[in-house]
Structure 1
Amino acid sequence: MSGLFGAAANPTQGDLSKDVPVKDLPEDSVSDIAFSPAAEHLAVASWDNKVRIYEIDGSGNSQGKAMITHEGPVLSCAWSKDGTKVVGAGADKAVRMLDLPSGGTTPQQVAAHDQPIKCVKMFQAAGNNMLVTGSWDKTIKYWDLRQQNPVGQIQCQDRVYSMDIKDQLLVVATADRYINIVNLSDPFKFYKTLQSPLKWQTRVVSCFTDASGFAVGSIEGRCAIQYVEEKDSSSNFSFKCHRQQESNVRDSAKVFPVNAISFHPQHGTFSTAGSDGTFHFWDKDAKHRLKGYPEVGGAISSTAFSRNGNIFAYAVSYDWSKGYASNNPQYPVKIMLHPVQGDECKPRPGGKKR
């Protein structure tokens, strides 16, 4: 079933003409972006050692509101459920947190690892704000913000590359294509471990909105839809996405990494974005591509939907897929806000009901 989406006829191409740029941009590649679950605030983590927090008004205009400064490139950022706290994690092996309502400008360090921290997420347990961090030291650690030391950790098979969380579902992807599933009601062991259904290195994992499963993106321009429970396994499938047909070679395509997958908070549809500089909206239940968009002028390194799903943000910057040597100062760095309009992200009529 791998070719389902790839073989589909091209849908109407999406429109980028109303996309609005974010002002006061980072000075280096953007590694991660995240919308607040409680307000129109966007956190942006970048290789210039900073997390910037922007406020976005009803017209899509952005204004810088706060900043977290690290001692190395920032690789991940996240919000607390109530939108009052924002955290950054990165190559300085630390997580730093800013408490926005307090008006403070000095972040506090709230977590640490022995190696760079690739991923950070926030969640609530018994009403308390908790952190989970995934590192290249091959561990994930849990942190209660009221304590200095981690409350527990799990040893992974290899370096953590990507991580996502939804309700009680935590999905951790490591090097060597391992994917670990954790039930947060029993957080200190793996509920299930599998190897990615895709053949090549995992770039991103993203949880379904109903927490019944997750999507996986890899360097080979493919995405897999994977359910947690065995009873739903007949609905698992993978498809080709970020590939470009080579005009002069039959049955040959250029293959691009899938860098980002984001699920729409209301509709449960999702986006993929890649090194080819395009993004697409998909309906996994109808196995259908909803919209495809033109190239945006550079690789898309990260994406996020706003809390109500009416803004789709995407970061254009070098994504390191071709190593250090291919980066250059002329490579574009921009963050665009795409207004989600009409049926762009709505499921296809007649699709499977959730």
Structure 2
Amino acid sequence: MSGIFGGGASASTTAPSTTGDTSKDVEVPQSQLPEDSISDLMFNPTNDCLAVASWDKKVRIYEMANTGPAGKWLFACKNVALCCAWSKDGLRLAAGDSDGFINIVDFSTSPATGEVTPLQFKAHEQAVKCIRWFQTGGKDYLATGSWDKTVKYWDLQTANPVATLQCAERVYSMDVKDHLLVVATAERHIHMVNLNDPSKIYKTITSPLKWQTRVVSCFADASGFAVGSIEGRCAIQYVEDKDTSLNFSFKCHRQQDPANRDIAKVYSVNAISFHPQHGTFSTAGSDGTFHFWDKDAKHRLKGYPEVGGSITATGFSRNGDIFAYAISYDWSKGFAGNNPTYPTKLKLHPVVGDECKPRPGSKKR
């Protein structure tokens, strides 16, 4: 990938510095960007393609070529594309939209490039907010989480779900790693599901954070998950009771008032992504910054300068050498807060040197 980033020079050669460098970040050309806010993104697990879902009702797939990121495919959903996810083999992409439809494209049978037509079917009575693929019993399944307070599982062989999970409230965020499914709902409920027994909730907790949950993301080793709230906090939470002593939360995405150190402006944590190899993670927020953290050392590895707008979605590439982040309006101030001049950008940050590596001596979990 060094061709994209001009040789892959170290982002910071001074080891003690925790200030990151975004000067080498590559931007997707304006002509290939969505026409509205970016709601979700995910790298393909088997190649260097990036899927991006947008409020303009479209999902775009970019290829990471030596000359830079280039638009490769595009498909339209029934309505606002709220989420997207690749299958484990990297051949299928699913997206959920605000009309409750699932939109699926099989790229093994699609043209080499251009606009493609998805398979579409009504999955939920309300918006599909979250979507994830998983495998159990040697088969691929799709999990969809909705504002209708259900998670449904699909084998895509029939028009009906193979099982439905009734949740405590509307599904706001959801993630899968191996056999762990974590579902975060309204009213701060968090459900944990063992996907070997997907029709049952293994455990339910109330979020350790006092304000509305914005995002959940599973650890790289599936032993737990991180939670981000609208009130500039992140929590590290383990699944099993034996590990509760390892749970903790911390403040992030806050700006100190220069005139009064006792006052801080608080921003939402919009996205949390775990590095696929190191087990470290990123947070990104409405303050327009992103940070890399080592949860085991309880230490911030790098913090990056403000990027010019709210960061709405993030993700690491399959090898962890690229960190993608989307800049766009995050709807935190409602319809009235949006305006035509608010930026929509998609940037790729080269992960180099020790940016995402755990601190020496910290135990990787």
TM-score (norm 1): 0.95
> In structure 2, which of residues 348, 355, 362 is the aligned counterpart of residue 337 of structure 1?
348
Q: Does 1:165 align with 2:199?
A: no
Q: Does 1:66 align with 2:73?
A: yes
**Which stretch of the first structure deviates more once superposed, 97-106 or 228-237?**
97-106
**How far apart in 2 are the matches of 1:51 and 1:270?**
25
Per-residue CA distance 1:162-194 (angstroms, 9 max, x = gap): 000000000000000000000000100110000
The Cα shift of 1:21 comes to: 0.7
Q: How does 1:1-354 map to 2 (within 5 A)?
A: 11-23=17-29, 24-58=32-66, 61-103=68-110, 105-110=116-121, 112-354=123-365
- For 2:270 and 2:130, the matched residues in 1 are separated by 14
Return the alpha-carbon distance in structure 1 between the equivalents of residues 250 and 69 of structure 2. Answer: 36
Q: How big is each residue's C-alpha offset from its partner over 1:244-270, in whole Å with a ceiling of 9 and x where there is no partner?
A: 001112311000000000000000000
Bigger CA drift: 29-38 or 122-131? Answer: 122-131
Amino acid corresponding to residue 301 of structure 2 in structure 1: L
In 2: Cα distance, 1:22 partner to 1:170 partner: 32
| 8 A contact 2:18–2:300 mirrored in 1 | no
Give the length in aligned residue pairs.
Answer: 344
Q: 1:234 to 1:344 in 2, by over 3 A?
A: same
* Number of the residue aligned with 1:6: none
The residue type equivalent to 2:162 in the other structure is V
Matched to 2:74, the amino acid is M
What is the identity, as a one-letter code, of the residue corresponding to 2:305? P
Shift of 1:128: 2.3
How far, CA to CA, are the matches of 2:252 and 2:231 in structure 1? 9
For the 8 Å contact 2:233–2:253, the answer to whether it is kept is yes
AA partner of residue 234 (structure 1):
S
Query: 2:86 & 2:18 partners in 1: Cα distance?
Result: 35
* Alpha-carbon distance in structure 2 between the residues aligned to 1:231 and 1:93: 39
**AA in 2 matched with 1:86:** L
> Following TM superposition, by how much is the alpha carbon of 1:111 offset from its aligned partner in structure 2, in angstroms?
5.2
Q: Contact 1:95 / 1:110 at 8 angstroms: preserved in 2?
A: yes
| Partner deviation per Cα, 1:305-342 (whole Å, 9 max, x = no partner) | 00000000000000011111000110000000000000
Instruction: Please tell me the residue identity of whatever aligns with 1:75.
Output: L
Q: What is the TM-score of this pair, normalised by structure 2?
A: 0.92
Ranges in structure 2 where 5+ consecutive residues have no aligned partner? 1-15
Checking the alignment, whether the CA contact within 8 Å between 1:33 and 1:44 is kept in structure 2 is yes
Contact 1:285–1:351 (Cα < 8 Å) also in 2: yes
Percent of residue pairs bearing the same amino acid type: 67
Checking the alignment, whether the CA contact within 8 Å between 2:278 and 2:364 is kept in structure 1 is no
Q: In the TM superposition, what whole-angstrom CA distance separates every residue of 1:207-247 from its partner, at most 9, and x where no partner exists? A: 00000000000000000000000000000000001000011
> Aligned equivalents of 1:145 and 1:45: distance in 2?
21
1:289 Cα shift?
0.3
Give the 3-state SS of the residue equivalent to 2:72 in structure 1. Answer: strand
State the one-letter code of the partner of 1:27. Answer: E
Partners in 2 of 1:18 and 1:321 — Cα distance?
29
Q: Secondary structure at the match of 1:252?
A: strand
1:68–1:88 CA contact under 8 A, matched in 2: no
Deviations 1:252-307 (A, max 9, x none): 10000000000000000000000000000000000000000000000000000000
8 Å Cα contact 2:37/2:55 also seen in 1: yes
Give the conservation status (yes or no) of the 8 Å contact 1:68–1:97: no
- 8 A contact 1:11–1:289 mirrored in 2: no
Rounded Cα–Cα distance in structure 2 between residues aligned with 1:70 and 1:63: 21
Offset at 1:109? 1.6
1:110-136, Cα deviation, whole Å (9 max, x unpaired)? 551000110011112223221000000
Q: Judge which range, 84-93 or 199-208, deviates more.
A: 84-93
| Aligned residues of 2:92 and 2:105 also touching (Cα < 8 A) | yes
CA RMSD of aligned residues (A): 1.1
